[in-house]
């Protein structure tokens, strides 16, 4: 552990930073009293936030950034002339333990470039997890990348020690993937996903029959798609994630706005800025699918294959479907209340329990935390709050809800105080 | 206007509830000892904290609201909001007089909503301790951390650390309230440190009492945090939102 390690860590942290997965939730692992660490269930713990506002929960690092593949969108592609480094197994283990003991991190997120062959790389990844768990009795969170093309035995070995495993799809449609990464196809991605799924299901099955079954990836798996590197529409992306969420072990799909890392490659679009708004809209759509009971087809239908960048996808859906509004706050079922723009999961739950005691009016709603600025066009609560979308038109409501933003952004606009 | 004054403790709050029933009054303000009196008022009642009275109110509460609602109430009580004691008094008064349905989910009542909101604030601060405590290793192997949370939430968080780091001795010290917890590898003890050495003043270990490898790991961590940020997507506002600036003083990655 010397200054040389510091340089290597800098290179390999920078190489791993485009992988956006950061969660440390999904498993409960108590400290058995002999080791170090635990994982708290429910919510994970974000230990720090980097200058780009993204959370740092896990030590996200690559074992090596040498890679035998040449994927157009990847910073670590073979043909890039960048500093390369490799961390030894003991270095990764030491850094993880020492960071963990100082409460810097929640655990380790280990990924790697593919060197020699997928099995060789996967074996080293599994080895680190095994050392941490068995030698250092580490009970913190471990997230491992499964290397596409690795054999089932090695994935199973890694899965015994990991809390979560992931394989990145990167590009939603296979033809786009083949264009940007000719050495890869969707089979190489879905195969290891299948190994992980089968392992988890097998483990659940065994639990019914035996008293002690070793854990297998208790936090499930996640994946990631790059946004804006290929011509795929938001509809393609959302349909893919919706299909992935129907897999019993898929917990999260992440979206990564493409940062132009290989500007010389003419197969990629020349972006000045990563598509941050589009990425944000996709995450909002993802939340709608996971917590608001929306379907991918509803969020981005055939007529609107791309999400509206000006309004969020929930408001977008509401403006396309004026016929279901206004929703009666005091009578409508929970599912309908969830669909009102400006009402989130927390407020919806509060509304449903509070309305058993008395009739709710708009002042109750705004105290509960409903964003009345948006919600008022879509609800009735026994009083006239604003003309509802059914009485006016979607265009009118849309104009009202988007106008305010534009005015605030225009510094040349003079303002007069009439109050 | 009827004004009650209490000693600021939770028992005092329960005694105030008892008094308001015994005296058949609904107070318009419940002041902590440091609260200032308004210019005009009709009546000022000093609540005497009495464990018999508070015990009776608490026993009744255990029958009318759930354990999680009682836990929310005691968490919320740690807030710094000066309005809260009165709202808590109204919440308890309503809970003990209600019959049948528990009032704890009636979120259209400002008192019930206040308990929920203040509870979220206090527990949020406790969670930020889990996030932002940073240990430094001393030469004798003890891990040391200084904190300045806005509420007195160290007792909520300290068991988490004792479980997680069960084989490492540590001290977490709340500088604002001047107490901390020392864990020696087996047992957790509340301690008050009277020393005014460099580390107690700044929260940072000086080079002499630092573990020889500590500096290296701090540098590694700072380098890691710096190189994991994507420069094309700088967003300092989001960073400050999720990691309030008041914590930066003791965060290893934000030093130097």
Among partner residues B105, B165, B252, which is closest to A36 by beta-carbon distance?
B165
Residues of each domain in chain A carrying CATH 3.20.20.70? 3-273
Instruction: Quote the ipTM score.
Output: 0.92
Q: Which residues of B touch A35 (CB under 8 A)?
A: 166-167
pLDDT of residue A204: 92
pLDDT of residue A419: 56
Mean pLDDT of B210-233: 93
Task: Please say whether the dihedral angle defined by the alpha carbons of residues A344, A350, A353 and A356, taken in this order, is positive or negative.
Answer: negative
CA–CA separation, A398 vs A311, rounded Å?
A: 9
Whether residue B242 and residue A53 make contact (CB cut-off 8 A), yes or no, is yes
pLDDT of residue B139: 93
Tens digit of pLDDT for each residue in B118-153?
999 999 999 999 999 999 999 999 999 999 999 999
- In contact, B32 and B56? CB cutoff 8 Å: no
pLDDT of residue A411: 61
Task: Report whether pLDDT(B206) > 90.
Answer: no
pLDDT of residue B198: 82
Among partner residues B228, B230, B252, which is closest to A259 by beta-carbon distance?
B230
CA–CA separation, A179 vs A193, rounded Å?
A: 22
- The overall longest dimension of chain B from CA atoms, in Å, is 67
CA–CA separation, A375 vs A396, rounded Å?
A: 15
Whether residue B239 and residue A104 make contact (CB cut-off 8 A), yes or no, is no
pLDDT of residue A67: 94
SS (H, E, C) A10-49: HHHHHHHCCCCCCCCCCCCECCCCCCECCECCCCCCCCEE
Q: Which residues of A touch B219 (CB under 8 A)?
A: 6
- In contact, A113 and A62? CB cutoff 8 Å: yes
Distance from CA of A151 to the nearest CA of B (A): 30
Whether residue B165 and residue A101 make contact (CB cut-off 8 A), yes or no, is yes
Tell me yes or no: is domain A3-273 CATH 3.40.50.11780: no
Tens digit of pLDDT for each residue in B170-188?
999 999 999 999 999 889 9
Tens digit of pLDDT for each residue in B67-85?
999 999 999 999 999 999 9
- In contact, A379 and A351? CB cutoff 8 Å: no
> Of the candidates A118, A136, A121, A192, which has an alpha carbon nearest to the alpha carbon of residue A159?
A192
Tens digit of pLDDT for each residue in A53-109?
999 999 999 999 999 999 999 999 999 999 999 999 999 999 999 999 999 999 999
Q: Which residues of A touch B167 (CB under 8 A)?
A: 34-36
CA–CA separation, A146 vs A121, rounded Å?
A: 10
Q: Which residues of B touch A49 (CB under 8 A)?
A: 238-239, 242-243
Q: Please list the ranges in chain A whose pLDDT falls under 50.
A: none
> Of the candidates A271, A241, A273, which has an alpha carbon nearest to the alpha carbon of residue A255?
A241
Relative orientation angle of helices A118-130 and A89-101, to the nearest 10 degrees: 40
Query: What does DSSP say about strands B136-137 and B43-46: parallel, antiparallel, or unpaired?
Result: unpaired
* CA A58, chain centre distance (Å): 14
CA–CA separation, A325 vs A43, rounded Å?
A: 34
- What is the value of pTM for the model shown? 0.91
Residue of A34, A61, A102, A364 to mutate, testing the B interface (most B Cβ within 10 Å of its Cβ): A102
Task: Report whether pLDDT(B253) > 60.
Answer: yes
């Amino acid at each position: 552990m010397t200054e040389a390690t510091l340089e290597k860590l800098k290179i390999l942290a920078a190489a791993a930073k485009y992988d956006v997965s950061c969660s440390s939730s999904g498993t409960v692992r108590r400290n058995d009293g002999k080791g170090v660490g635990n994982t708290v269930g429910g919510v994970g713990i974000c230990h720090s936030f980097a200058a780009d506002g993204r959370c740092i929960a896990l030590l996200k690092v690559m074992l090596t950034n040498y890679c035998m593949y040449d994927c157009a969108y990847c910073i670590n592609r073979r043909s890039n002339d960048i500093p390369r480094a490799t961390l030894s197994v003991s270095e990764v283990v030491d850094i993880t333990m020492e960071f963990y003991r100082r409460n810097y991190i929640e655990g380790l997120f280990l990924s790697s470039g593919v060197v020699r062959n997928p099995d060789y790389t996967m074996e080293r990844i599994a080895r680190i997890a095994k050392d941490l768990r068995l030698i250092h009795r580490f009970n913190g969170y471990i997230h491992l990348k499964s290397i596409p093309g690795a054999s089932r035995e090695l994935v199973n070995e890694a899965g015994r020690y990991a809390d979560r495993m992931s394989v990145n799809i990167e590009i939603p449609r296979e033809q786009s993937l083949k264009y940007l990464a000719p050495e890869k196809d969707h089979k190489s991605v879905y195969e290891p996903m299948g190994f992980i799924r089968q392992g988890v299901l097998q483990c659940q099955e065994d639990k019914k029959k035996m008293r002690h079954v070793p854990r297998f990836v208790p936090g499930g798996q996640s994946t990631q798609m790059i946004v804006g590197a290929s011509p795929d529409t938001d509809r393609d992306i959302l349909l893919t994630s919706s299909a992935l969420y129907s897999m019993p072990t898929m917990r999260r799909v992440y979206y990564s706005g493409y940062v132009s890392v290989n500007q010389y490659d003419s197969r990629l679009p020349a972006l000045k800025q990563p598509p941050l708004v589009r990425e944000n809209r996709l995450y909002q759509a993802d939340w709608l699918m996971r917590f608001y009971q929306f379907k991918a087809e509803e969020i981005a239908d055939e007529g609107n294959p791309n999400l509206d960048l000006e309004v969020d996808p929930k408001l977008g859906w509401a403006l396309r479907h004026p016929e279901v509004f206004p929703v009666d706050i005091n009578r409508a079922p929970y599912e309908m209340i969830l669909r009102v723009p400006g009402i989130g999961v927390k407020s919806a739950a509060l509304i449903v329990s509070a309305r058993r005691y008395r009739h709710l009016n708009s002042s109750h709603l705004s105290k509960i935390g409903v964003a009345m600025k948006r919600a008022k066009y879509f609800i009735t609560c026994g009083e006239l709050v604003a003309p509802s979308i059914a009485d006016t038109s979607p265009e009118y409501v849309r104009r009202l809800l988007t106008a305010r933003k534009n005015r605030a952004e225009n510094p040349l606009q003079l303002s007069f105080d009439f109050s | 206007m009827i004004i009650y004054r209490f000693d600021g403790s939770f028992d005092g709050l329960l005694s105030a509830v008892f008094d308001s029933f015994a005296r058949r009054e609904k107070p318009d303000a419940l002041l902590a000892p440091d609260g200032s009196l308004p210019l005009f008022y009709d009546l000022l009642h000093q609540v005497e904290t009495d464990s018999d009275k508070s015990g009776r109110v608490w026993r009744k509460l255990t029958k009318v609201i759930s354990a999680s609602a009682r836990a929310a109430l005691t968490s919320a009580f740690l807030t710094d909001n000066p309005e809260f004691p009165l709202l808590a008094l109204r919440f308890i008064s309503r809970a003990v007089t209600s019959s049948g349905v528990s009032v704890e989910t009636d979120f259209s009542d400002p008192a019930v909503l206040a308990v929920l909101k203040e509870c979220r604030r206090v527990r949020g601060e406790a969670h930020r301790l889990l996030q932002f405590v940073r240990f430094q290793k001393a030469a004798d192997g003890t891990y040391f951390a200084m904190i300045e949370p806005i509420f007195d939430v160290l007792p909520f968080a300290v068991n988490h650390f004792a479980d997680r780091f069960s084989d490492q001795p540590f001290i977490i010290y709340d500088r604002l309230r001047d107490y901390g917890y020392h864990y020696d590898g087996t047992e957790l003890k509340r301690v008050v440190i009277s020393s005014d050495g460099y580390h107690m003043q700044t929260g940072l270990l000086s080079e002499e009492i630092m573990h020889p490898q500590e500096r290296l790991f701090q540098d590694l961590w700072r380098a890691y945090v710096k190189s994991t940020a994507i420069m094309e997507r700088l967003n300092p506002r989001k960073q400050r939102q999720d990691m309030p600036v008041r914590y930066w003083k003791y965060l290893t990655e934000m030093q130097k």
